[in-house]
Amino acid sequence: MHLSFRFRSWMFSTGVAALLCGISPAVAETSLDFIAAQGPTLDRIVNDALAHPRAYERLVTLCDRHGHRLSGSPGLEAALDWAVHTMKEEGHVNVGREEVEVPQWIRGVESATVLTPRRTPLAMLGLGNSVGTAPGGVEAEVVTVSSKEELKSLGKTVHGKIVLFNNPMPKWTTENGPCYGETVQFRVHGPSMAAEQGAVAVLVRSVTARSLRTPHTGTLFYQEGTTRLPAAAISTEDADFIARRQAAGETVRVHLAMEAHWGTPVKSANVVAELRGRELPHEIVIVSGHMDSWDVGQGAHDDGSGVVMAMETLAALKRLGIRPRRTIRVVLWTNEENGMAGAKQYLKTHASELPNHVAAIEADLGGFAPSAFGVKSADEGVQSRAVVELETLLHHINRHAIGASGDLFIKPGSSAPDVYRFANEGVPALGLYTHDEHYFDYHHTEADTVDKVDPQELARSTAALTALTWLIAEMPTRLGSGEGSASH
Amino acid sequence: MHLSFRFRSWMFSTGVAALLCGISPAVAETSLDFIAAQGPTLDRIVNDALAHPRAYERLVTLCDRHGHRLSGSPGLEAALDWAVHTMKEEGHVNVGREEVEVPQWIRGVESATVLTPRRTPLAMLGLGNSVGTAPGGVEAEVVTVSSKEELKSLGKTVHGKIVLFNNPMPKWTTENGPCYGETVQFRVHGPSMAAEQGAVAVLVRSVTARSLRTPHTGTLFYQEGTTRLPAAAISTEDADFIARRQAAGETVRVHLAMEAHWGTPVKSANVVAELRGRELPHEIVIVSGHMDSWDVGQGAHDDGSGVVMAMETLAALKRLGIRPRRTIRVVLWTNEENGMAGAKQYLKTHASELPNHVAAIEADLGGFAPSAFGVKSADEGVQSRAVVELETLLHHINRHAIGASGDLFIKPGSSAPDVYRFANEGVPALGLYTHDEHYFDYHHTEADTVDKVDPQELARSTAALTALTWLIAEMPTRLGSGEGSASH
């Protein structure tokens, strides 16, 4: 899951940005001085990442050996064990599982079939966290809507019906990006919207602009106090079919059967590993991805790619003998897709350590070439200063031309799903953005397989992530501190 | 099914082509004189086709009401009845079913699962006309090959194994087109190749260059005297997965279970309808598409588009009050996909009438914008003369700029699957070519649905087909005759 934001270019030159943010340009210049001295090390990091498709090879191993990895599945636990084993073998320290209790949602057998005007099986996937239907399923007429307002205008006529939310995702454009946030609201909140008007079940047009009869699952959230309706995604083709028949004046009846249910919560874990800092080992920079996925495909882009980029960050620095000033901690989150139990538990387990967290970085927008880093902090001063400092760091990374279309840039105010809670605590939370034109073709589908990842694009994102993580761990001032000098 | 050919431009000017083919330029000029006088009628035909998405509306009705239409299915027969009813309602003459006995291949329940190194269900579709497995299925190690030579070099080691033909279809290019013919040979002949070396079953990488875990079915042909092996297509992703695990040194075992079998042959029909010629009603120009499809998706591009273009040709001429010199006969073939019983039966039923067939045209490359017409005749003289004449006709159609990328052109030596048997009898057989970059994304899959057809592109191909069919039916000389003057 990733709530995207409008794609806007923030191409401030460092000096201009510093002035706009009311920070002394001296800070930026201090950082620049520091960075200039790091050039050869930065070169080594980027060249190493681009020279060999190590992240991709790691991804193949993860995806082919363990497949998809939903919370509560043996696949997830085996993959977490694999990560522990691998990172121990690579000689990292403080490698291990940090226990997290995760929910266990079980899909079971499911189907959706148009009964009238013509019996047609629909390409469907139940939505994650949905309740199931009664045994034997539910059968009702379908009412199709394309907005919350349209649904409300129908009033009580929705009673006893199946509501189809038929909102096509716009095509990806450079200017607007994927428009995921605008489209996914019906998958997330549609079931409760429909329940308020007495519907008996919900179908949602899959959140994608490109389909080969491909249903996309993903989580829903039931609003407290509303009836929990069974809900499934259907392919865009099937949504179009239903809408066409209705536009032609025909009544469409659908039978929906879902065995979806909750099992007992089970033990899972976040996996952690560290490269201890040489001067400020108590200060921590998190680099992360989430290990769990939906129960389809291989979870290759979402988020096997983030996992291997984080692992490779640590492995590369160790391989190159680069030990930064601060500690870099890899975290491979569990349960991002349907509960965020991993991220929530981390904040509890590490509550006393939280003030020592300098930044929390996550890659969760696929293994495509890099485009930007989001940065967010609830402390506006921290965020403003971090933006300026990060632009300085990126200026040097951009010399290596690893961005997908031009320079990498900073997107203030956004981060990534497992780390945004750090932002709420005042810790700068960062998210890697990629050239995501095709991300939502594969997202949460059977087609999110490792062949969709280009080894060189993944290497470029790995280079960006490793370089920025290292620079944040190495810079003399703490990110966003505005201290203007080394913090030791 | 459509065996494609290398895409080559044949941009002869009429005069040059005439000289090259050894035909008197006077013939071409006579045609030109004739055509020049037909300008206003041609304008009306093309403008009518482009003004309103009638072909598309017809396609929606066909696809949504009847769904896919495999030989032997109720869907096919209902669609044929719909075509009869529709064309009678439109006031055409000699509308009816011409009985054809067709085979009845029944897919039944089927599955393919990787057992080792990790249990993984494969996205698969049994190949059309395949035998089933024994009850309980077949389980064996997979041997992956990418050529006939590689298979042969393995000799007896193939014995008892499942052979995977893993030949990626190249990406579509303007120069080479889709490369379907080169890639599909393993789907068609692979099962018999593998049987010769003692294999027990066959998997084939789906014939496509773009996949979202999308298996593509299609027919196989068992060579006489070889064991008939059960055979299935798997998605490109699944073929890649198996090949990757084998490249990593792992043994891949697969369980394949298919209930596929033959039912009793059943009665089906070609549907015909006519616009009788005003001067030479006994001379016939066929315009056609095939009504049957595979048992997945909606058969929208393959070949619902051809069906509605042929129907719309007749409807448009009637609507516009244009009655050509010769008779135009719509034929909607049955059983193109797995037997060609419709085309074969037509030649028997109409054997005595065959000398009066002036041309047989078919559209079977989807509902995309038009790019060319193939023309073929076993009589080389007829083909050469027809090429020259058709280039003259296209010259005038091209004034309307309905080609997908530049002018429509003639591809000598190719036609379309239901009509090439006419070419063997000396009748010029023509096939409409389209801008087929995406045809093989959808071909023979669950994703061949009406939403994949663009109304305006279909209208452009309909305009091309209607215009050329009319011109061939109207021209004073018989196509390919070289008579140089009106044949009445």
For residue B123, the distance in angstroms to the closest alpha carbon of chain A comes to 9
Choose the closest CB to B447 out of A237, A244, A451: A237
β pairing state of B120-121 and B110-116: antiparallel
- Closest to B315 measured CA to CA, from B449, B465, B460: B465
Residue in B119, B124, B213 to test binding to A, most A beta-carbons within 10 Å: B213
Choose the closest CB to B64 out of A65, A241, A446: A241
For residues A253 and A111, the answer to whether their CB atoms sit within 8 Å is no
For residue A442, the distance in angstroms to the closest alpha carbon of chain B comes to 7
Residue B484 has pLDDT above 60, yes or no: no
Give the active site residues of A: 336
| CB count in 10 Å sphere of residue B461 | 31
Predicted local distance difference test score (pLDDT) of residue B86:
98
pLDDT band at B30 (very low <50, low <70, confident <90, very high): low
- Closest to B463 measured CA to CA, from B245, B316, B338, B262: B316
- Angle among Cα B190, B122, A206 to the nearest 5 degrees reads 125
B441 touches chain A (CB under 8 A): yes
Within 8 A by CB and 6+ apart from A191, the residues are A127, A130, A202, A220, A222, A228, A229, A231
- Residue A447 half-sphere exposure, CB side, CA atoms within 13 Å? 23
Rounded CA separation A119/B20 (Å) = 57
- Residue B235 half-sphere exposure, CB side, CA atoms within 13 Å? 26
Per CB-CB distance under 8 Å, the chain B contacts of A245 are 64
Least confident of A171-180, B358-367, B437-446: A171-180
pTM score > 0.90 for this model? yes
Choose the closest CB to A60 out of B60, B120, B244: B244
Rounded CA separation A387/A365 (Å) = 20
How far is CA A38 from its chain centroid?
A: 31
Per CB-CB distance under 8 Å, the chain B contacts of A236 are 451
Structure tokens at B218: 């299609």
pLDDT band at B31 (very low <50, low <70, confident <90, very high): low
Partners of B434 in the β-ladder: B370
Residue A261 has pLDDT above 90, yes or no: yes
Structure tokens at A142: 């379908």
Predicted local distance difference test score (pLDDT) of residue B38:
87
Rounded CA separation A331/A96 (Å) = 10
DSSP state of B73: S
Per CB-CB distance under 8 Å, the chain A contacts of B65 are 117-118
The 3-state DSSP class for residue B389 equals helix
Taking an 8 Å cut-off on Cβ atoms, the answer to whether A64 and B211 are in contact is no
Structure tokens at B71: 């030989």
pLDDT band at A405 (very low <50, low <70, confident <90, very high): confident
Per CB-CB distance under 8 Å, the chain B contacts of A123 are 446
How high is the ipTM of this complex? Answer: 0.91
The 3-state DSSP class for residue A359 equals strand
Per CB-CB distance under 8 Å, the chain B contacts of A445 are 212-213
Rounded CA separation A431/A374 (Å) = 5
Give percent of chain A with pLDDT exceeding 90. Answer: 88
Give percent of chain B with pLDDT exceeding 90. Answer: 88
Residue B12 has pLDDT above 70, yes or no: no
Structure tokens at B103: 């085979």
Within 8 A by CB and 6+ apart from A125, the residues are A110, A215, A216, A217, A232, A233, A296, A444, A445
For residues B253 and B141, the answer to whether their CB atoms sit within 8 Å is yes
β pairing state of B253-258 and B138-145: antiparallel
Within 8 A by CB and 6+ apart from B264, the residues are B104
Choose the closest CB to A447 out of B64, B213, B442: B213
The 3-state DSSP class for residue B437 equals coil
A442 touches chain B (CB under 8 A): yes
β pairing state of A138-145 and A253-258: antiparallel
Interfacial B residues in 99-158 facing A (CB < 8 Å) = 117-118, 120, 123
- Closest to A431 measured CA to CA, from A333, A327, A294: A333
Within 8 A by CB and 6+ apart from B300, the residues are B59, B63, B367, B442, B448, B449, B450, B451, B452, B453
- Closest to A359 measured CA to CA, from A405, A322, A313, A402: A313
Place of tokens 């037997």: B339
Instruction: Please name the residue of chain A whose CA is at the shortest distance from the CA of residue B440.
Output: A212
Residue B470 has pLDDT above 80, yes or no: yes
How far is CA B486 from its chain centroid?
A: 33
Per CB-CB distance under 8 Å, the chain A contacts of B114 are none
For residue B290, the distance in angstroms to the closest alpha carbon of chain A comes to 22
Q: How far is CA A95 from CA A88, A234, B125, in A?
A: 6, 41, 44
DSSP state of A303: I
Choose the closest CB to B237 out of A236, A237, A451: A451
CB contacts < 8 Å between A and B, how many? Answer: 77
Interfacial A residues in 237-266 facing B (CB < 8 Å) = 237, 240-241, 244-245, 248
pLDDT band at B210 (very low <50, low <70, confident <90, very high): very high
Structure tokens at A210: 């490109």
Choose the closest CB to B237 out of A118, A213, A449: A449
- Residue B298 half-sphere exposure, CB side, CA atoms within 13 Å? 33
- Angle among Cα A329, A331, A335 to the nearest 5 degrees reads 165
Rounded CA separation A447/A35 (Å) = 41
Per CB-CB distance under 8 Å, the chain A contacts of B447 are 211-214, 237
Taking an 8 Å cut-off on Cβ atoms, the answer to whether B64 and A211 are in contact is no
Instruction: Please name the residue of chain B whose CA is at the shortest distance from the CA of residue A442.
Output: B212
Instruction: Please name the residue of chain B whose CA is at the shortest distance from the CA of residue A75.
Output: B118
In tens, the pLDDT along A59-74 reads 999 999 999 999 999 9
Taking an 8 Å cut-off on Cβ atoms, the answer to whether A445 and B212 are in contact is yes
- Angle among Cα B297, B299, B305 to the nearest 5 degrees reads 145
For residue B79, the distance in angstroms to the closest alpha carbon of chain A comes to 13
The phi, psi pair for A114, rounded to 5°, reads: -70, 130
Taking an 8 Å cut-off on Cβ atoms, the answer to whether B65 and A241 are in contact is no
In tens, the pLDDT along A23-41 reads 444 445 555 577 778 899 9
Residue B488 has pLDDT above 50, yes or no: no
B159 touches chain A (CB under 8 A): no
- Closest to A328 measured CA to CA, from A278, A388, A363: A278
Taking an 8 Å cut-off on Cβ atoms, the answer to whether A213 and B211 are in contact is no
Per CB-CB distance under 8 Å, the chain A contacts of B53 are none
Choose the closest CB to B212 out of A66, A248, A441: A441
In tens, the pLDDT along B293-336 reads 999 999 999 999 999 999 999 999 999 999 999 999 999 999 99
Tell me the pLDDT of chain A averaged across its residues.
92
DSSP state of B134: P
Instruction: For chain B, give the number of residues.
Output: 488
What are chain A's domains? 14-105+264-474 (3.40.630.10), 108-259 (3.50.30.30)
Active-site residue identified among B110, B283, B336, B391: B336
Q: How far is CA A284 from CA B177, B229, B452, in A?
A: 55, 61, 51
β pairing state of B201-205 and B162-165: parallel
Burial category of A264 from C-beta neighbours within 10 Å (exposed 0-12, middle 13-18, buried 19 and up): exposed
In tens, the pLDDT along B410-443 reads 999 999 999 999 999 999 999 999 999 999 999 9
Taking an 8 Å cut-off on Cβ atoms, the answer to whether B214 and A211 are in contact is no
Taking an 8 Å cut-off on Cβ atoms, the answer to whether A449 and B297 are in contact is no
Predicted local distance difference test score (pLDDT) of residue B147:
93
Taking an 8 Å cut-off on Cβ atoms, the answer to whether A449 and B213 are in contact is yes
Q: Determine what percent of chain A falls in helix, strand and coil, rounding each to the nearest 5.
A: 40, 25, 40
Rounded CA separation B271/A396 (Å) = 70
In tens, the pLDDT along B363-383 reads 999 999 999 999 999 999 999
Taking an 8 Å cut-off on Cβ atoms, the answer to whether B64 and A118 are in contact is yes
